[in-house]
Structure 1
Amino acid sequence: MTERRMVAAIDTSLVATAAAAFSVLCASTSFAGVLADSRWVFPALLVVVVVAALGVLGRRLHWPLYATASTQVAGVLVVLSSQFAEHAVLGLLPGPAAISELGELLSGAADVVRTGVPPVPAEPALQALVCLGLGLVAIVVDLVVVGLRSPAVSGLLLLCVFAIPASLSDTMLPWWTFVAGGVGFAVLLASGGQHRRWRRHEDREQVTRALFGPTSTAVAGTAGVIALLTGVVFTGVGTEGRLPGSVPEQFGGTDGIGLQPFTSLRGQLNRDKEVELFRVRGLKEPTYLRALTLRKFDPERGWELEGLTQGVEANAQLPLPEGTDIGEGDAQRVEIQPIGYRDPWLPVFGVPRFLSGMGVNWRYDPASGIVFTQTNQESRPYVQQLVVPKPTPEQLRDARGPMRVAPEYLDTTGIPPQVTDLAQRLTADAGTEFDKAVALNRYFTDPSNGFRYDLQTAPAGGGDALSEFLFRGKRGFCEQYASSMAALLRAVGIPSRVAIGFTAGYRQGDERVITTEDAHAWVEAYFPGWGWQTFDPTPLSDGRSALPQYLNSELHPAQQPSSAPDPAQPSTPPTDGSTPGGGPQDDQGARPAPVDPRETEQSNPWPIAIGVLVLALALLAAPAVVREVRRRQRVRAISGGAAGSAGLAWQEVLDEFRDRGAQPAATDTARQVATKLLEHHALDESGAKAMRALVVAVEREWYSANGRSDESLPETLRTVLDSLRRASPLDLRSRAFPRSVLQLLRPQP
């Protein structure tokens, strides 16, 4: 007589839930291509696991789909509050204050997504945005795969997860992310493709064969190849680090282009590592490299580009900037080689007079001093002939004449009255426009006024950002300094604009190297005849400042000549931790380097330690939880008189013995196994009797053509287990790490 093989049953809904969570996590690897570090991984893993766990709970309690989904949404909010909100109720629950914090974080993250240049640091704002998105995707995928049993449909959602970082990156995402996504989707299909034939509890061997068999392996391999090819296509139609619509293909008229360059600038300053952008040959002395200028001040959104015209062809002799009559200065020829830079703005030094080598379709706008392109193209090495104006303080004091610039450069709309009052008080003793500009510049650089350079601005106090920085926070980086001084200049009638670009970097041999550490913002003020002149209220203390002589001699009259590095003396690359700016002076007059906010954030190990501890505890508890869930499933099925109840009862008895170290031989019959177990564990009389009854029920179910379910089977099983627990109680280790879960189960005779 042949023996019937026993196979362990498994809940197919658990398989589908795990596959859904696994596929979302595989798709989330695509964010590795746009986020510069891995701080987002643990919160993302946590939110997906919480969604899966709440889905299992809802289905165990037979909740309707909407109740389960609502609970999962609440779970996502709890994870976000516990991870990113300082004012969560009990440090965990999303109260009104926590919701407000999360809203501000997500708003900031939206700006970074719109204008940041990947890869960007995974700051808390971006972590929150990624976790929220993955949480919502995980909820919908769980609903579609497990609730509606339509796993193939979820592929569209997973594709959207890939499409977002693919559209943000100007290079191909890591190849392994596409392979991971394809494998995750293949496992998802394998776990759900047979649901219409699978029962709620299916035997383990069949499930394993469906998940990891030849068919699934072939599907996974094919999906990986297709996903890899799809990734190449997505990258090929990317948008150079911005979402579609952020930078339209055409510039024209007087409309703004919606660019928020300060967000991109902050991304440059906050990078985890220094990235080389340009190599420059022929620059005689340090001078700021200007990429674009901003003329519109919005009290809520800050400074924006506006009024960019079609300009003139850049590959030709260039006119003097608008409103400039004096073309005197130091004429230079500079060779610029872009290395890690790609943008529609071509940076230039001083007053450009001729450009060549950068390719076609580049335009120069004399009004804004910007060189730009309307087509998607790589930046090539280019040559610039320029003039560096060198007016004296006396010449700028004597500058007189009409303001031949657009009236928008004098627009004071949105500047609060208290800011205007401050500007007038600071310039009350200044006799000329130049002296007013110097007085305003000195207000920020004088340590006695309490301003401090920092890559993190002071916490908002509820007022407008300009007043908050000037009167209360007094802490920020070049964005706040340049923005504030430009507003103060306009408040006293001096045309001004904010310039975005780079300092001159450091000397390396006969070249100057400009990196992401040199990203900077400064101010340009207009003087009749001389045009736009540079002012810089940000206290740079790392040797990279490029203050013009007329400003340096006024701010530091005791330092003659200019404090700028002598071009004959080779400068050295910045030391680790240096930043393009300085902080307040200490008592000895030295400005300490500002503290990198990433170092400050990483100096507190407790959030990460607690998270790792919670994850470790969850992993440690997993075997016992799996064992208990399996036991309850079997008992429920046996009590309900399900088909194969005797086999399930026998499997539960075998697992109890395995937990105690017994391992029945594969060749033994059920009677032989029972005899050995009774002898080894010395069950009492009631237990031995129940064991023999269970063997009879099992043999009747396996070998009898008309095997019927035994109504006394639940009581028989309970008696066997009670007797076993009295005769051989499990120790703590065996309860925490049951051998029946940890060892690989094989079919038993």
Structure 2
Amino acid sequence: MPVDVPVLRAAAAAVAVLGAGTAFAGVLADGRWFPPALLTVLVIAATGAAGRSIGRGRTTGRRGIALQRAAVVLAQLAALAAVLTALFAGSGVLGFLPGPAALAELGRLLAGAVDLVRTGTPPVAAEPALQCLVCVGLGVVAVIVDLVAAALASPAATGLVLLCVFAIPASLAREMLPWWSFLAGAAGFALLLSTGGPHRRWQRREPGGRVLRGLFSGAGAALAATAGVLALLSGVVFTGVGTEGRLPGSAGERLAGGTEGIGLQPFTSLRGQLNRDRVVDLFRVRGLEQETYLRAMTLRKFDPEKGWALDGLTQGVQADDELPLPEGTTVAGGPSTDVEIEPLGYRDPWLPVFGTPTAVGGIGPAWRYDPAAGIVFTQSDQDSAKYTQRFFLAQPSPQDLREAGGPAAIAPEYFETRGIPPQVADLAKRVTADAPTDFDKAAALNRFFTDPANGFRYDLSTAPATDQDALTDFLFHGKRGFCEQYASSMAIMLRSVGVPARVSVGFTPGYRDGADRVITTEDAHAWVEAYFPGWGWQTFDPTPLDDGRAALPEFLEDGQPAPDPQPGEPLPPEPSGQAPPPDPQEPAPEPVEQEPPRDDREQESAVWPGVVAGSVLLLAVLATPATARELRRRQLLRAVAAGGRGSASTAWRLLLDEYRDRGWDPAPSETARMISDSAVERFGLDDAGAEAVAAVRTAAEREWYGAPEDGDPQELAATVRRALEGLDRTAPRDLRARVLPRSLRHLDS
């Protein structure tokens, strides 16, 4: 039996791309990305093989062959867009055609993926955004490799492209890629090379006898080289934004005079590991007498899918001047303190400050201050020289905070609890059941985590997962972790009992070095801030630190928080069906390297410029047959539901269209019974589907041969829908049937 070499090469190209794609296992924490990537590459390979098979023998000459290859590439790109829409967009036309809404949705998803690459520390969880990005990348690579190997018959020229697939994850990974990914990539490329030698006798020739491969091998090599350069440039770009050190989990560093720096991630997670491979000095502080936390940013957005994240920054005011008090803060208790802060190994768009800042100096006009968030920020990572800060620390007593009254002048987002599991809310209510004021509730929850009797302990890694929801897993089962888990949990529990709360990210006070204090990477920390009218945001720290790094305010040491639940009280049952938890290393939607105040529309346009318009124009043409088929299907269904003479015949004609789309065109000589019986057998219909097909046939036969009956047209329409559902269950339409429906050839029937 002759070997179809182009089809063989297309299959080998798909295997080679998937083999190279296994390198992403080194930067993605789980295997959820592989099934969609597998589907994407296989669809592109099948589209290419089908397109070349359709055009085989119908095109001659260089121009005709070039046009056919261009048409196949366009079809593959359209198939890629359709697969991405079907997998990742919920608003596609017919479920897989990317209309404007679906393209906008994919754009937002890819924008989020770029943010994850920029701020995440590999390996990161394979969330849908990253799955989509991987599918886009491997899909484009699959189109190039298929063109060079199968169409241009130059499989060896694809080696550079496949090597660059390894280059990007290798540049982002903190460790060596898995050994088996190299083996898989090498095996795939070897398989592809094996299709290039012994089979040359089957290569197609022009009438003059020249081998077409000779005409295009140079083009294939040039295309592969160009694609390789672009892939390497992409790797450089992603490396530049993805490997800079972040805390926690940072391996990069920048000491004075260097080019890299250590910064903070603007998110927290409920699972993960705190990496402290080496200690790096970050700040030297002069003039700080009291121990207090150095705040870099505050996180107010709790998303059950993404965790605590930065959100809602305003343009703020220029920071290199006197600073306004946050709205609602009227009690400027405590003396003002002037300090000098010298960054040593820190580079970030967030400038850390102590307490409630009233003035910052020596930082230049690029820095802004958002009083509501308590954040000093700029548009991109900055090296800062020594800067000065004046601040005050409010020193309320427990009674002051108890008498602060209800919330005022605070955004409603600080009360948001969407997605919190009910078991967690129930636990928070039990812990604070005897707490009459917001302060007592906050103190009770703080003590719930720090009291050894409740079983929580500090650890550089969380316990192995036993529950799908990370929040309930931490609170009810693991009970071990570091600051991110404790701050994340207490903040959302505070909100669930009506206390406005946010998570702060920054540093503990560090250690004394003579008259100075030195803050290092070991001091990176997250804590909770609760809002009290007049007094503003007050610090609570639920992390059970036992090394003296905590800096608790006096009101926590003097206050008498409400009692915890009695040990004998049962814990809430384990959760089921909850939304996925905040993922271990999933970054917040707002990227560190991008301008914090930019809105989503600017981010989308920056990520995908020009792609939307081109895709819409291309798909408008390619989607015409499928759209016409869907319109016909709906028209026939409406005619059946309308009733009247001929409605049963219309129902029968609708089923014939479905049979034709699935590759079977019944002969005109076959009776209705023969056709329906054959359909049941050919398509393997289950009992429900077979019963519906038989009912439609019976209705049509009565209309053709018997007296008219006054049947319920809605019931007939429902029967047709059951028949269609049965066909979709047991014999779903393939890609060709959806894109190029055969039934359109019979519009006059």
With the shorter chain as reference, the TM-score category is 0.3 to 0.5
Higher alpha-carbon Rg: 1
Q: TM-score, normalised by structure 1?
A: 0.46
Q: TM-score, normalised by structure 2?
A: 0.46
- The structure whose RCO (Cα within 8 Å, separation 6+) is larger is 2
